[in-house]
Amino acid sequence: MADKLNSIGEQVHDAGLGFAYHNHDFEFLPQQGQTGYDIILERTDPNLVKLQLDLYWAVHSSPKDPLELIAADPSRFVMWHMKDMDKRTRDYTELGNGSIDYDQMLAALDQSGLQFYYLEQGGNFAKDSMQSVAQSAQYFKNNLQHYL
């Protein structure tokens, strides 16, 4: 996969664009003593392959927390993807309703490489998708936006 990402990154770069990889949970599964995400970090060219770290999946599945992942090479993490984790089911939930302490996390994360951030609700919502995304956006504006 790392070789494929480098190849895609090179083609995209040659076209004058940027390329970033977005993770889910499977990249954090052990692969002969390291994780797939470790392999991506080690074997992809930082000039060709940037990273969009899904903070939810990093908290949910990674043996390293997002602070540790980003601290290794902040310039690679140009995008962050945020959603919250239900305290009971560990599925997605509206920002502010879950177990991820974004106040603490965002205050501590190295933001030197950050260019964009995204809020996502996903397919799991309390009442309906529009109400949930509005609730997450309002929580972000009221409680987290000042960190970014």
pLDDT of residue 108: 97
88 secondary structure, DSSP code: T
**What would the pLDDT profile of 1-36 be if each residue is shown by its tens digit?**
999 999 999 999 999 999 999 999 999 999 889 999
Q: pTM for this structure?
A: 0.93
Residue 42, in any domain of the structure: yes
pLDDT of residue 120: 87
**What would the pLDDT profile of 81-128 be if each residue is shown by its tens digit?**
999 999 999 998 999 999 999 999 999 999 999 999 999 887 777 778
CB 40 within 8 A of CB 21: yes
CATH, residue 41: 3.20.20.150
Residues 6+ away with beta carbon under 8 Å from 25: 57, 60, 61
Residue 147, in any domain of the structure: no
Residues 6+ away with beta carbon under 8 Å from 4: none
Into how many domains does the chain fold?
1
CB 112 within 8 A of CB 148: no
Residue 111, in any domain of the structure: yes
Q: What is the span of the domain harbouring residue 107?
A: 2-136
Residue 142, in any domain of the structure: no
Question: Which contacts qualify for 64-73: CB closer than 8 Å, 24 or more apart?
Answer: 66/105, 66/109, 67/105, 67/108, 67/109, 67/110, 69/37, 70/109, 70/110, 70/113, 71/110, 72/41, 73/41, 73/46
pLDDT of residue 141: 98
Q: What average pLDDT does the segment 76-83 reach?
A: 96
* Predicted confidence (pLDDT) at residue 73 exceeds the cutoff of 90: yes
How many helices (DSSP H) and strands (DSSP E) are in the chain?
6, 8
